[in-house]
């Protein structure tokens, strides 16, 4: 009997719901599935307050770790590990990164094929490049990735995700759609389960990712990739600004986080037209190089 270990951290349960849809066809196919939930010692609040939400920024961008609840390493042996995670500020969520850099991560991943499942808003590519590296560092073998995103426009989903995170409301309002991943896309993710089960049963994990891609497991828009790179660069600068005086004057961090919490949404909306145009021009100028890079990123 094949055995699969699912490791994940989900705050609101969206990612958990996605994983359930992907994994239940495995159980139906007679595959044994174990779960390991990553739990921060100090849980993040939901809904978030404005301050706590933006105060998580420096650690997420700096890829710092937090203490996790102690966990036992499931014994296995496992034929596949599925690592489900979400994105915080263009990086893996802090609990996910804390797991990847945890001394026990190696015991969970070493020598095992690892499939990642990401449920972000829309920007996951650079985070996945980093996660792929950490999986390899822990002795795991990345074999593929599934990213199910919120398909609303970039600015639309900024509004709906903020309302969801700060007030816990996902329902459509005014001209805005339902927040998060669409129900149709959540339910549709069940199609990946039989593909995973089939490749596991046939010991053909080397062919898994190409088959998942044909089923629409991951799409990278060149413009979003350019925007994401730019965002990561600017986030690094904001992080340095926020923590610059934090050692000597702890109150300065909170003052700067408050400033950032107002500045970031304004910058996103004011800069959108110019940045949208420059990103498109960049996409045209570097079209071929970007396509080659995207093909490399999607290859496992």
Ligand X SMILES: Cc1cc2nc3c(=O)[nH]c(=O)nc-3n(C[C@H](O)[C@H](O)[C@H](O)COP(=O)(O)O)c2cc1C
- Binding residues (CB under 6 A) for ligand X: these are 10-12, 14-15, 53, 56, 86-90, 119-124, 161, 165
Our CB check for ligand X shows the closer of 1 and 266 to be: 266
- Tell the smallest beta-carbon distance from residue 270 to ligand X (Å): 18
Our CB check for ligand X shows the closer of 123 and 225 to be: 123
* Six-digit token string for 235: 């986030």
Our CB check for ligand X shows the closer of 162 and 211 to be: 162
Our CB check for ligand X shows the closer of 107 and 190 to be: 190
Our CB check for ligand X shows the closer of 10 and 209 to be: 10
- Tell the smallest beta-carbon distance from residue 149 to ligand X (Å): 7
- Tell the smallest beta-carbon distance from residue 71 to ligand X (Å): 18
Our CB check for ligand X shows the closer of 13 and 111 to be: 13
- Tell the smallest beta-carbon distance from residue 15 to ligand X (Å): 3
Q: Which residues fall within 8 angstroms of residue 261, CB to CB, at 6 or more apart?
A: 50, 51, 53, 54
- Tell the smallest beta-carbon distance from residue 94 to ligand X (Å): 8
- Tell the smallest beta-carbon distance from residue 19 to ligand X (Å): 9
């Amino acid at each position: 009997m094949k055995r699969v270990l699912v490791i994940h951290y989900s705050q609101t349960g969206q990612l958990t719901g996605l994983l359930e849809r992907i994994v239940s066809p495995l159980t139906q196919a007679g595959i044994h599935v174990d779960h390991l939930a990553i739990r921060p010692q100090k849980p993040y609040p939901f809904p978030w307050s404005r301050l706590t939400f933006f105060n998580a920024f420096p650690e997420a961008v700096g890829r710092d770790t937090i203490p996790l609840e102690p966990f036992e390493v499931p014994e296995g042996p496992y034929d596949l590990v599925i690592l489900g995670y979400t994105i915080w500020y263009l990086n893996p969520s802090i609990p996910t990164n804390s797991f990847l850099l945890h001394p026990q991560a190696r015991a969970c991943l070493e020598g095992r094929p690892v499939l990642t499942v990401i449920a972000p808003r829309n920007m996951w590519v650079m985070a996945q490049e980093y996660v792929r590296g950490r999986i390899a560092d822990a002795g795991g073998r990345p074999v593929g990735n599934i990213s199910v995103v919120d398909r609303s426009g970039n600015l639309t989903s900024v509004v709906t995700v903020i309302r969801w995170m700060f007030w816990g409301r996902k329902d459509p309002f005014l001209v805005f759609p339902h927040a998060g991943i669409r129900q149709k896309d959540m339910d549709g993710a069940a199609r990946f389960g039989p593909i995973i089960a089939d490749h596991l049963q046939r010991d053909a994990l080397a062919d898994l990712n190409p088959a998942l891609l044909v089923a629409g497991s991951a799409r990278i828009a060149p413009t979003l990739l350019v925007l994401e790179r730019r965002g990561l660069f600017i986030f690094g600068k904001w992080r340095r600004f926020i923590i610059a005086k934090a050692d000597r004057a702890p109150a300065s961090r909170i003052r700067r986080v408050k400033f950032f919490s107002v500045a970031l949404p304004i910058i996103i909306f004011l800069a959108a037209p110019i940045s949208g145009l420059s990103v498109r021009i960049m996409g045209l100028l570097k079209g071929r190089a970007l396509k080659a890079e995207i093909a490399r990123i999607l290859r496992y």
